[in-house]
Amino acid sequence: MPLARSLSVTSLSGLDEWDEEFELEDAVLFEIAWEVANKVGGIYTVIQTKARMTAEEWGENYFLVGPYVESNVRTQVELIEPTNPVLKRTIDKMNASGCKVYFGRWLIEGSPYVVLIDVGFTAWSLDRWKSELWDLCAIGVPWFDREANDAVLFGFLTAWLLGEYAAQSEDPPHIVAQFHEWLAGLGLVLCRQRQLAVATIFTTHATLLGRYLCAGNVDFYNNLAEFNVDKEAGDRQIYHRYCLERAAAHCAHVFTTVSQITAIEAEFLLKRKPDIVTPNGLNVKKFSAMHEFQNLHAQSKSRIQEFVRGHFYGNLDFNLDKCLFLFIAGRYEFSNKGADIFLEALARLNYLLRVNHSDVTVITFFIMPARTNNFNVETLKGQAVRKQLWDTAQTVKERFGKKLYESLLVGQLPDVSKMLDKEDFTIMKRAIFATQRQCQPPVCTHNMLEDSSDPILNCVRRIGLFNSSADRVKIIFHPEFLSSTSPLLPMDYEEFVRGCHLGVFPSYYEPWGYTPAECTVMGIPSISTNLSGFGCFMEEHIADPSAYGIYILDRRYKGVDESCNQLTSFLFQFCKQSRRQRIIQRNRTERLSDLLDWRYLGRYYIAARHMALAKAFPDTYVYDPQEPSSASGFRYPRPASVPPSPALSRHSSPHHSEGEDNEEDERYDEELEAEKDRVNIRQPYTISVKGKTVLGGNGSGEDEASEKN
């Protein structure tokens, strides 16, 4: 049964400390997901980054459970003998019964233990387990749905693992099992059906039906209460998957989602209100000095500029020092990720920059993987021409330097007219002629397999942004994930993000949104929406998000055209900022990284586990959360250097008038502003478990906690 209310993320200190010490000595945590040591999507990032904090809290009693994928195990997992005698007996018993279960350490931060189950090895039991699933739950899984078949095998095997662990324990253990997404959900349903003594948590990172409905261009959020969920799932041939997800949500002791917007979605589509929202975090590594991450931005930006020099050779008629790099990245879902509205806004921005005779050039990167067969020849040629020009310049420089050196040796000032001879001019002219181009710079860096039907390329054709000299907005579509080994743009994703000026993620369907969160941690401003979990979270915790470089686009209460105009306005205002204003804004953005640290957000997972233990074992554990007061928690105020009202007709990001530089120099004090923000962030509290300190959630900021953190 769900609680009458959900704990809100409105206040990070809304989770009170236990009235008495919370003993985890005989409790064991199993965290079960298809993406344990198996990168498929964003859940992998959640589990990987959270593992260190969870391992610190639970120590030797924390086990991640996932599928055995040999290619991943070779590079990510160190296979060892189980250190827990009960788990060793459990695995030995399962292996003797026809399973293949492996144990090891996942080679990530925290080095958590992993139990990996080879689902393919037990495929011989699939038909029998499907029949049992039908008899127990009346859920039929079609033979052709391989992903659902894997979910059935994985679910029965994880339930077997938990049941066997309980049976092999001499004293009845207090087992907590957290299941992520529908692929792992069947194991939870079976635990409850078999009445295993397990405290269960089900976390949905996005509802299946919600993702399918949004992909079909449905007016999703305005019609949530109207959908016939069974019919909609059946029409999309995912009814069996939907049933597995909904059953897991209803059977769990505690049901959680990753954001408030997904909580609303789950309440209507899965018919259960989440008990608690567990936002996604990151492991934030702070720099000892503020200028360090600014230096990294400058270094990465110079590498992107090198790529741009090659890509636009022969058409490099814009000033790279007045060039802004924007990007959008993620799964190639044209409408869900907001690429459609972004392209339309870029066309409008191009018009505004041209009519206002702006000297700013905007280069926008679309990093979305699509089907390709190779690099574009023209794109590769551009990088080769750039390298050839560089080599030519180095050759002429060496010849010039040698003559200059010899002239100075004999005590004479050089005759500049004789420093470069005819051969030098010939070499340079040949290099200049090589940069001549008969076509415009390509929009796409690769040869697309489905060029004529590609949504991004078709939209580019419609709006007419072909990287012509007259356009102030240029587009580069890179349909592959970035890699430091690429011959085209040899940068990894983190380095590329650091070199950009703005991340744009105008998503229509985004349960959380790791891309803008990663931008924030790296000090890069971003545009998100009030339909993404990240955007809603920032709106709740920052009085004026845009003052900190977090622009929230309204896609929930405005029409498409209004939202597009708002996005265009955000982009145009950003283009009007001076270099100094952007530096100030990056400093402010980077300070928000504390909000996204697992040290703070991990307390919600702690609360969910405490709540599940109290429900499953009421005689041993008690959990009585108090309603957080409206004054508790923290909320970033407007920065001191930003006017408190729109009376001065300025945007809420740093000032826009070059004539006001002197005034802003006096008003802006980076250290003072940063110190005020630090006061607004409560320190993570600590709780003692088995003689060691782990993170908890009252956020009281007491001296002891501050010293240990």
Instruction: Map out the domains of the chain with their CATH numbers.
Output: 27-277 (3.40.50.2000), 291-376+442-596 (3.40.50.2000), 387-439 (no CATH)
Specify the pLDDT at position 670: 65
Write the DSSP assignment of 365-389 as a string of letters: EEE----EEEE-HHHHHHHHHHHHH
Arithmetic mean of pLDDT, 141-167: 96
Task: Select from 225, 163, 176, 233 the least CA-distant residue to 203.
Answer: 176
Instruction: Tell me the pLDDT tens digit for each residue of 372-395.
Output: 999 999 999 999 888 888 888 888
Residues 6+ apart with CB under 8 A from 385: 310, 313, 434, 435
Dihedral-angle region of residue 701 (phi above 0 means left; psi in -120 to 50 means alpha; beta otherwise): left
Residue 373 phi/psi, 5-degree rounding, is -120, -15
Specify the pLDDT at position 698: 39
Residues 6+ apart with CB under 8 A from 630: none
Instruction: Tell me the pLDDT tens digit for each residue of 416-452.
Output: 777 888 888 888 888 888 778 888 999 999 999 999 9
**What is the longest distance spanned by two Cα atoms in the chain?**
100
> Can you state the angle between helices 181-193 and 126-137, rounded to 10 degrees?
70
323 touches 542 (CB < 8 A): no
Arithmetic mean of pLDDT, 690-694: 36
Task: Select from 115, 517, 524, 94 the least CA-distant residue to 280.
Answer: 517
Instruction: Tell me the pLDDT tens digit for each residue of 315-371.
Output: 888 999 999 999 999 989 999 999 999 999 999 999 999 999 999 999 999 999 999
Q: Is 60 exceeded by the pLDDT of residue 620? A: yes
Specify the pLDDT at position 433: 84
User: Band of the pLDDT at 292, cuts 50, 70, 90?
Assistant: confident
- Determine the 3-state secondary structure of 531 from DSSP: coil
User: Band of the pLDDT at 643, cuts 50, 70, 90?
Assistant: very low
Task: Select from 454, 158, 452 the least CA-distant residue to 332.
Answer: 454
Question: Which has more pLDDT, 285 or 17?
Answer: 285
Arithmetic mean of pLDDT, 456-460: 97
Arithmetic mean of pLDDT, 131-146: 95
Where is 337: in which H helix or E strand?
A: none
Q: Which residue has the tokens 């979910």?
A: 151
Measured torsion, CA atoms of residues 522, 524, 529, 530, in degrees rounded to the nearest 10: 60
What is the spatial distance between Cα 707 and Cα 636, in angstroms, rounded to a whole number?
23
